[in-house]
Amino acid sequence: MSASRLTKGGRIDRSRKVTFSWDGKTFEGFAGDTLASALMASGEQVLGRSFKYHRPRGIMSAGVEESGAIVTLGKGDRVEPNAKATMQELFDGLSASGQNAWPNVRCDVGAVLGLFGRFFSAGFYYKTFMGLPPFEWGRGTGIWMQYEKLIRKAAGMGEASREADPDSYDHVHAFCDMLVVGSGPAGLNAALTAAQQGKDVILVEQDFELGGDLLNQSDPAVETQRAELIDALQSAGVRIMTRTTTFGLYDYGTAGLLERVTDHVTAPSQDAPRQRFWTVRAGATVLATGALERTIAFTNNDRPGVMTAAAARTYLNRYGVLPGQNIVLCTNNDSAYVSASELAAAGAKVTVVDLRTDVGADQLGAMQTAGVAVKTGLVPLKALGGKTVSGVQLAREAGTGWAAAETLSCDLLLVSGGWSPVVNLLSHRGAKPAWDADLACFLPASCSENVVMAGSATGHWQAADCAASGIAAAKVAMGEDAQTPTLGGWDTPIKPVYEVRLPGSKTKSFVDPQHDVTCDDVRLAHQEGFVSVEHLKRYTTLGMATDQGKMGNVIGLALMAEAMGKDIPAVGTTRFRPPYTPIAIGALAGRNVGTHFKVMRRTPLHDWNLRHGATMTDAGLWHRPWYFARKGETINDAYIREATTVRETLGICDVSSLGKIAVQGPDASEFLNRVYTNAFAKLAVGKARYGIMLRDDGMVMDDGTTWRLSENDFLMTTTTTGAGRVMVFLEELLQTRWPDLKVHICSVSDQWAGVSIAGPQTRDVIAACMEDPDTVSADNLPFMGVKKIRLKGGIDGLIARISFSGELAYEIYVPSDYGEPMMDLLWSETEPRGGCLYGLEALGALRIEKGHVTGAELDGRVTIDDAGLGKMASTKKSFIGSTLRQRPELLREDRPQLVGIFPKDRSQTFNGGALLCKHGDNIGFGEGWVTACTHSPALGHWIGLGYIAGGHEAWQGKSVTATDPVRQGDVEVEIVSPHMFDPKGERMHG
Amino acid sequence: MIRIPCPFCGTRDHSEFSYGGDGSIQYPALDAPVQDWHDAVFQRENICGVQTETWQHVNGCRMWLLVDRDTMTHEIHDVRPAHPGMAKVLGVTS
Ligand SMILES: [Zn+2]
């Protein structure tokens, strides 16, 4: 291939030179070029090395179907591997390089692998590494682990950056009456038809210019027509999106779009995202996605210099590049003839080789006028030449096979094996394309949704028919009747040919060049028993490369059909999946990266906690104080000091993240009585009660206290992480099961700032903060009492005397905005007494000492009896879960039950998650497991909570092994009562 | 992506909703026999075709809805409030 830039013609702007680099060298192109057209014009021919065999590869097409010119774009943290040079718009400063080659694509040491090709045939990896002889089942994986690194280095794609992506990506949502995909003659006319009827239309084009195949024409009248159409679209208010790929179609007219905002810009604005991920909901969708030219499989059909016929026309008419001087054009259909005459007119010597012998006289006359030689009844058998093509050996039909014929020299071998409508998007909707034997292609099936296809995507080969079919499609999508032109449009019918080879020969003719899948691979798969195309695809990886087999899939199906002795329709086709072309993971993530990766909830006391030295941790979506380290303290020092201080003086802990639900109405107490296991109907006003809720299946769902503020007004608290789940369940009950109950519920979690204050001196501190200190006297506020209070400074709130730590303790809630003044007030009385702030780690230590359960124990597999709370399940009433908790399996005495755990040697520690096993029997699941562990300041040694079969009763006085083979090994532990500290609860009643 | 026409909010993406379960289940009384509860909680048809489901518009009006959805095509035939009183007010009882 000796390509050259023409001095005139094409859509490039020769007054705007563009400088770019390829493999470290500087090149020049023009504005309007793609990377491929600029490299072609510069004489570069080998642009890639193939996946398995490291064969040299060049430009095979001019679009998304590209399977040869696969390159790496950008540098450093902006590197993007496996990009198609044919799709990358050229811009100043663009940096691109070849991939999968060392030292470079032109001279690749790995090409020696090509000599060992027979080792890399279909299923090579499966056979070698997945347990066929000589390896036994299961051993293959280990061998794979050993060889993986070597193989991945030799066979593979480009390398991604390991650095963080510096670019930003946006998610955008849009709505429209009609979405039109593709801007060729069909798409432009469909969009205009709808817009002129007042529809809100979005027109999407993956290219940087509108026009589709109109851009590849030499006739100036076509350009005039294109410009007029675009003007009309703009006046009609069509929203036009170029550089945007419709990568997937989903239910209800939803489409996924990827807009490339700055991928063609030298110095993008700091404010612009690199790409935008659009979700468009369209009332109707017209797919004018065009058709892609197929190749034919013959020996060395992947040589640089072998290209589709239409691509040559694109390079000539759009980019002003004559891709070869001595061109052989092999075809089996009419579409290639116009390319031939235009290439000849541009100065090339062109020979057309047509498989058909019945080519029309008009066609032949036109070729004669254009100076193009035509040879009929011939097909390409083998591309000649080393790194680039130097000629082609032809073949002619002989019986049912082929016989070698003459050889022609050439520097560019163009191939047209027919056209494949782009039915991918409709296939996303589950509509199976149907094989049309006359046109030798898959045509879109009808779709029950309002998605209509148009243009060459429906098998119209002439521009005028495409335009008419676009108008018709828009009308159909708007619910009108419309007449569609007849399909096809060639004078002489296509003569299908998929593979050319001599009988019995073994050759390298490629079906899927990007994944190095050959015709022999397809036959081998069939020999080995693969009969379904979906299996064929996975076994050979045909069509699984980044181009999804856009050029070669049909050949693969034809070969499979031939091997099975069936027709193509009987073999069928694989279902296409989104995305149509690859999209960056960054675009899917959008702005949900870094600190925005997930929702973060902060309590109203967040800043106050940070100012007072909190180290934060995640609790569900919430950020909560973990510990408040003083100078020089480790986390262990801090939590042990905090827990000790709570037991000795007092401490304050932010509990604002607890779920809070206002339950109000005349039937509120009846409602609570049904959802909690224990009695709530007779809870007195001004009292709180600890309650447990079960699920329908009898397992524990959540726990918390509920406060009766007045006759019909309750405040329910839930666990931090259970709040959402509880709210949803309560709403479900009220709306779907018990609509007769007059109850209103409302989440007030964010409305209240809450603290727990615990320790022997708590009452003194709170009294000192009250306008009326008597409010919290032991008589006025007994254990489990609830009161409305007024703090100094006029801060109104609620107080409840409840304890999670086992100490004398209160929870105080004030409106969120008063959280900080409340904390200032409480802290001003706490700090002088030697009290502390404490976080989740100390809270954990305190509750483990008391044997109080949290999410670690209530993990959804636990009954109320398992958790040792069976006495809280009323026997006098029914409640949610009361029936199914009586299932025999849930009543077995050997179920795992909550216990406390001490290390036998008190100086030892053990881990959460360790399995509890009988001595000498630490294989399998064991008898139980450790849910939580801590150093106990009160007891002076390590303690834990966990579950063990039969519970404390079965294991009293016995020791077991806490086994943790991955981290720590075995520790001998004793099973004790979960109530490890102050079992009678005397401290909190003080 | 499914789009669900919420009777209160209009048509919204399904990401605003959360799936509940089989909307045809009549939950028994709290004191009903264990067999009734077993069937209501654990027995489910695996319908190929239109089934009635409960969905909650959890990131919208928080109403529980009954949705008749085709499990093969995702086509939604009907959406109405699960609360019979609400359905009555909207005139969409079924
Ligand atoms: Zn709603």
Average pLDDT value over all residues in chain A? 93
Q: Do B37 and A696 touch (CB under 8 A)?
A: yes
Q: Do B37 and A884 touch (CB under 8 A)?
A: yes
Mean pLDDT of A487-497: 95
Question: What tokens does A850 get?
Answer: 């008391």
Q: Among candidates A839, A846, A840, which has minimal Cα distance to A808?
A: A846
Beta A326-331 vs A349-354: how paired, if at all? Answer: parallel
**Long-range Cβ pairs for the range A433-441 (8 Å, 24+):** A433/A573, A434/A569, A435/A567, A435/A568, A435/A569, A435/A573, A436/A487, A437/A569, A438/A487, A438/A488, A438/A493, A439/A487, A439/A488, A439/A494, A440/A494, A440/A496, A441/A291, A441/A554
* Three state DSSP letters for A439-488: CCEEECCCCCCCEEECHHHHCECCHHHHHHHHHHHHHHHCCCCCCCCCCE
Give yes or no for a contact between A650 and A760, defined as CB atoms under 8 angstroms apart: yes
CA distances for A310 relative to A325, A488, A717, A721, angstroms: 16, 17, 70, 60
Residue A133 binned pLDDT confidence (cut-offs 50, 70, 90): very low
Whether the predicted pLDDT of A147 surpasses 80? no
Q: To the nearest whole percent, how much of chain B has pLDDT over 90?
A: 88
Give yes or no for a contact between B64 and B82, defined as CB atoms under 8 angstroms apart: yes
**Quick one: pLDDT at residue A135?**
44
**Quick one: pLDDT at residue A136?**
46
Whether the predicted pLDDT of A473 surpasses 90? yes
Give A281's contacts in chain B (Cβ within 8 Å). 3, 13
Whether the predicted pLDDT of A922 surpasses 50? yes
- What digits encode the pLDDT tens for the residues A386-401? 889 999 999 999 988 9
- What digits encode the pLDDT tens for the residues A323-371? 999 999 999 999 999 999 999 999 999 999 999 999 999 999 999 999 9
For residue B79, how far is its CA from the centre of ligand 1 (angstroms)?
Answer: 11
**Quick one: pLDDT at residue A112?**
61
**Cα separation, A448 vs B74, whole angstroms:** 12
For residue B83, how far is its CA from the centre of ligand 1 (angstroms)?
Answer: 13
**Cα separation, A705 vs A690, whole angstroms:** 4
Residue A965 binned pLDDT confidence (cut-offs 50, 70, 90): confident
**Quick one: pLDDT at residue A436?**
95
CA distances for A802 relative to A720, A822, A838, angstroms: 17, 19, 17
Domain residue spans of chain B: 40-94
Whether the predicted pLDDT of A134 surpasses 50? no
Domains and CATH numbers, chain A: 4-111 (3.10.20.440), 168-293+418-489 (3.50.50.60), 604-657+751-845 (3.30.1360.120), 659-747 (3.30.70.1400), 892-989 (2.40.30.110)
Phi then psi dihedrals of residue A318, to 5 deg: -95, -40
Measure CB to CB from residue A732 to each of B30, B38, B64 and give the nearest one: B64
**Quick one: pLDDT at residue A921?**
87
**Quick one: pLDDT at residue A142?**
56
Q: Say what the pTM is.
A: 0.89
- What digits encode the pLDDT tens for the residues A175-208? 999 999 999 999 999 999 999 999 999 999 999 9
The one-letter amino acid at A848: I
CA within 13 Å, CB half, A255: 32
Which residue in B has a C-alpha nearest to residue A738's C-alpha?
A: B83
**Quick one: pLDDT at residue A552?**
83
Under an 8 Å CB criterion, which residues of B touch A?
1-3, 13, 18, 20, 27, 29-34, 37-38, 40-42, 54, 56, 58, 62-64, 73-74, 81-86
User: Out of A456-460, A736-740, A923-927, which region has the weakest mean confidence (pLDDT)?
Assistant: A923-927
For residue A731, how far is its CA from the centre of ligand 1 (angstroms)?
Answer: 14
Mean pLDDT of A772-781: 95
- Hey, is A816 helix, strand or coil? helix
**Long-range Cβ pairs for the range B74-82 (8 Å, 24+):** B74/A251, B74/A252, B74/B2, B76/B2, B76/B3, B76/B4, B76/B5, B77/B50, B79/B4, B79/B5, B79/B6, B79/B7, B80/B7, B81/A735, B81/B7, B81/B8, B82/A735, B82/A736, B82/B23, B82/B54
Give B27's contacts in chain A (Cβ within 8 Å). 696, 737
User: Out of A106-120, A244-258, A808-822, which region has the weakest mean confidence (pLDDT)?
Assistant: A106-120
b/e map A719-751, b = 16+ CB within 10 Å: bbbbbbbbbbbbbbbbbbbbeebebebebebee
Residue with more model confidence, A523 or A118: A523
**Quick one: pLDDT at residue A158?**
80
- What digits encode the pLDDT tens for the residues A434-454? 999 999 999 998 888 999 999
- What digits encode the pLDDT tens for the residues A29-39? 999 999 999 99
**Quick one: pLDDT at residue A145?**
57
Output DSSP code: residue A583. -
Q: Do B40 and A696 touch (CB under 8 A)?
A: yes
**Closest Cα in chain A, distance from residue B64 (Å):** 7
User: Out of A548-562, A937-951, A973-987, which region has the weakest mean confidence (pLDDT)?
Assistant: A548-562
Output DSSP code: residue A103. E
Mean pLDDT of A376-382: 97
Which chain residues have CB less than 5 Å from ligand 1, an ion?
Answer: B 6, 8-9, 57, 60-61
Supply the DSSP string of A720-777, one letter for each residue.
TTTHHHHHHHHHHIIIII-TTS--EEEE-TTTEEEEEEESTTHHHHHHHHBSSGGGGS
Whether the predicted pLDDT of A100 surpasses 50? yes
Measure CB to CB from residue B62 to each of A252, A731, A882 and give the nearest one: A731
Mean pLDDT of A776-786: 96
User: Out of A127-141, A196-210, A887-901, which region has the weakest mean confidence (pLDDT)?
Assistant: A127-141
**Quick one: pLDDT at residue A573?**
81
Between A519-527 and A553-564, two packed helices, what is the crossing angle to 10 degrees? 40
Query: Cα torsion for A443, A445, A450, A451, to the nearest 10°?
Result: -30
Whether the predicted pLDDT of A761 surpasses 50? yes
Give yes or no for a contact between A403 and A379, defined as CB atoms under 8 angstroms apart: no
Asked if the C-beta of A448 comes within 8 angstroms of chain B's C-beta atoms, the answer is yes
**Quick one: pLDDT at residue A137?**
47
> What count of CB pairs under 8 Å joins A to B?
68
**Cα separation, A89 vs A97, whole angstroms:** 15
**Quick one: pLDDT at residue A131?**
45
**Quick one: pLDDT at residue A671?**
98
**What is the topology classification, in CATH, of domain B40-94?**
Folate-binding fold (3.30.2270)
Mean pLDDT of A291-306: 96
**Closest Cα in chain A, distance from residue B30 (Å):** 6
- Hey, is A912 helix, strand or coil? coil
* Three state DSSP letters for A969-989: EEEEEEEECCCCCCCCCCHHH
**Quick one: pLDDT at residue A434?**
93
Residue B91 binned pLDDT confidence (cut-offs 50, 70, 90): confident
Mean pLDDT of A863-879: 96
Question: What tokens does A371 get?
Answer: 């100076």
Residue with more model confidence, A131 or A970: A970
Q: Which of A250, A252, A701, A744 to mutate to test the interface with B (most CBs of B within 10 A)?
A: A252
Give yes or no for a contact between A336 and A309, defined as CB atoms under 8 angstroms apart: yes
- How deeply is A958 buried, as exposed, middle or buried, from its count of CB atoms within 10 A (0-12, 13-18, 19+)? exposed
**Quick one: pLDDT at residue A835?**
98
Whether the predicted pLDDT of A140 surpasses 80? no
- How deeply is A487 buried, as exposed, middle or buried, from its count of CB atoms within 10 A (0-12, 13-18, 19+)? middle
Give A251's contacts in chain B (Cβ within 8 Å). 1-3, 74
Q: Among candidates A50, A46, A72, which has minimal Cα distance to A59?
A: A46
Q: To the nearest whole percent, how much of chain A has pLDDT over 70?
A: 94
**Quick one: pLDDT at residue A570?**
87
Residue A143 binned pLDDT confidence (cut-offs 50, 70, 90): low
Q: Among candidates A720, A719, A717, which has minimal Cα distance to A708?
A: A717
For residue A639, how far is its CA from the centre of ligand 1 (angstroms)?
Answer: 45
Supply the DSSP string of A412-443, one letter for each residue.
EEEEE--EEE--HHHHHTTPPPEEETTTTEEE
Give yes or no for a contact between B5 and B79, defined as CB atoms under 8 angstroms apart: yes
Whether the predicted pLDDT of B71 surpasses 60? yes
Give A739's contacts in chain B (Cβ within 8 Å). 83-85
- What digits encode the pLDDT tens for the residues A599-653? 899 999 999 999 999 999 999 899 999 999 999 999 999 999 999 999 999 999 9
**Cα separation, A984 vs A12, whole angstroms:** 88
- How deeply is A347 buried, as exposed, middle or buried, from its count of CB atoms within 10 A (0-12, 13-18, 19+)? exposed
Beta A201-204 vs A239-241: how paired, if at all? Answer: parallel
Residue A53 binned pLDDT confidence (cut-offs 50, 70, 90): confident
The one-letter amino acid at A429: R
Q: Do A251 and B3 touch (CB under 8 A)?
A: yes
Q: To the nearest whole percent, how much of chain A has pLDDT over 90?
A: 82
**Quick one: pLDDT at residue A115?**
57
Residue A314 binned pLDDT confidence (cut-offs 50, 70, 90): very high
